[in-house]
Amino acid sequence: MQEILRCLVVNSFCFVLAMGYAAQLGAQTKNTSQRLVVTGSSTIAPLVNEIARRFESTHPEMRIDVQTGGSSRGITEVRQGIAAIGMVSRALKSDERNLHAFTIAQDGIGVIVHASNPVTGFSRQQIADIYTGKITRWKVLGGADERITVIHKAEGRSTLELFVDYIQRRNSEIKPHVIIGDNAQGIKAVTGNPHAIGYVSIGAAEFEIRRGLPLRLLPLDGIAASVEAVRQGIFPLSRPLNLVTLGEPQGLALEFIEFARSPQVHDLVEAQYFIPVNAD
């Protein structure tokens, strides 16, 4: 009986010991092994994860930890020194000039509707009117006599900032019906609702269309939304996918960034439906 009780006591305090021991170990590994923490945009994270795996296979002594949580988290943690490299899915803002950005890929943002929607395209003004609630029915645009369901992103997403810039409105003017987080959720929301309109990463939308989901990308300013148009640089809504560092990258971080920009990873970039950039 006493043994069992002793067991209970030992158990309950083992986590305190484990914590101390682990803290010590953590401090050790930080100094000795080569570990690189990359964190930030959820759009870029799957790609960088794949790049990191390939990098590790050629540099077996190194470890790249990829974390996610959004572009702002990437910037915050790079500034705090928690992460060596941040992932940011937009160009740096004016108050972020102290960071160094390295573009590893390009991504376009396209407006999507359900495949059964007869509307073939509209002007920038019309998109703005839909999103600000001036146009509320598809009939006005040549579609069915149904209410438009406006799908918008949550505040702080870089996709949203780009889109709102494009239609030249402030976010508070927009009257959305559904607000989503990530790309795949936006695609699910539009495929599940024939009267919805949303905007997502073009690569993701093209991939899902090829898989046969009832989805259609609409042209913007008369330019068809496609990965090809983004590659040529003529599509009006595109963004760079960046790796950022605080100060000039050195050592392992520099090596990894160079690797991520080299042609060796172009197939990985394309496999995630982004557009590779040439590092020159």
Partner 1 sequence: MHDAARKRSLRKLRENAAQCVIYSAVMLVSAVFIWLLIDLLRGGLSHLSWEFITELPRDAGRAGGIASILVSTLLILLVAVLTAVPVAWMTAILLAEFVATGSWFGKAVRFSLYVLAGVPSIVFGLFGNAFFCVYLGLGFSILSGGLTLACMLLPILASTAEAGLRAVPHIYRLTASALGLSRAAALLHLILPAAAPVMAAGLLLGIGRALAETAVLLFTSGYAERMPDSLLDSGRALALHIFDLSMNVPGGDEPAYASALVLVSLLLCINILAMKFAYGLQRSKLMP
Partner 2 sequence: MPIDQWLPGVLRAGALIALLIMLFILIFLIGESWPVLSKLSIAQLVTDSSWHPLEGAYNLMPMLTGTVLASTGALLLAIPLGLASALFTLFYAPRYLAVSYKRLIELLAGIPSVVFGFWGLTVLVPLINQWHPPGASLLAGILVLTLMILPTVTVTAHAALAAVSDELARNAAALGLSRWGTIQGVMLPAAKAGISAGIMLAAARALGETMAVLMVAGNVVQYPETVFDPVRTLAANIALETAYAMGDHRAVLFVSGLLLMGLIMVFSALAEALEKQQHA
Q: How far is the CB of 126 from partner 1 (least distance, A)?
A: 27
In the list partner 2, partner 1, none, the entry touching 218 (Cβ below 5 to 8 angstroms by class) is none
Q: Does 12 bind partner 2 (CB under 8 A)?
A: yes
In the list partner 1, partner 2, none, the entry touching 71 (Cβ below 5 to 8 angstroms by class) is partner 2
Picking from 74, 33, 92, 86, the residue whose alpha carbon sits closest to that of residue 260 is: 86
Q: Does 80 bind partner 2 (CB under 8 A)?
A: no
Q: Does 94 bind partner 2 (CB under 8 A)?
A: no
Which of 17, 25, 144, 154 is close enough to bind partner 1 by CB under 8 A?
A: 25
Q: How many chain residues are in contact with partner 1, going by CB under 8 A?
A: 47
Which of 117, 149, 183, 226 is close enough to bind partner 1 by CB under 8 A?
A: 183
Q: Does 18 bind partner 1 (CB under 8 A)?
A: yes
- Contacts by 29-34 with C-beta closer than 8 Å and gap 24+? 33/61, 33/63, 34/61, 34/62, 34/63, 34/252
Residue whose CB is less far from partner 2, 9 or 97: 9
Number of H helices and number of E strands within the chain? 10, 10
Residue whose CB is less far from partner 1, 204 or 253: 204
Q: How far is the CB of 193 from partner 2 (least distance, A)?
A: 5
Residue whose CB is less far from partner 1, 4 or 233: 4
Residue whose CB is less far from partner 1, 108 or 203: 203
Q: Does 147 bind partner 2 (CB under 8 A)?
A: yes
List all residues 6 or more positions away from 4 whose beta carbon is below 8 Å from its beta carbon.
none
Residue whose CB is less far from partner 2, 140 or 179: 179
Query: Given CA atoms 58, 62, 63, 64 in this order, what sign does their dihedral have?
Result: negative
Picking from 89, 80, 143, 88, the residue whose alpha carbon sits closest to that of residue 114 is: 143
Owner of token pair 């640089």: 233
Q: Does 23 bind partner 1 (CB under 8 A)?
A: yes
Cα separation, 61 vs 33, in Å, equals: 8
Q: How many chain residues are in contact with partner 2, going by CB under 8 A?
A: 37
Do the Cβ atoms of 114 and 196 come closer than 8 Å?
A: yes
Cα separation, 201 vs 182, in Å, equals: 10
Q: Which residues in the 187-246 window bind partner 2 by CB under 8 A?
A: 188-189, 192-193, 195-196
| Torsion angle, alpha carbons of 216, 220, 226, 228, to 10 | 170
Cα separation, 201 vs 186, in Å, equals: 10
Q: Does 241 bind partner 1 (CB under 8 A)?
A: no
Q: Which two tokens stand for residue 1?
A: 């009986």
> What does the binding site for partner 1 look like in residue numbers (CB under 8 A)?
1, 4-5, 8, 11-12, 14-15, 18-19, 22-23, 25-27, 29-30, 37, 42-43, 45-47, 49-50, 53, 56, 65-69, 82, 181-185, 187, 203-204, 207-208, 211, 271-273
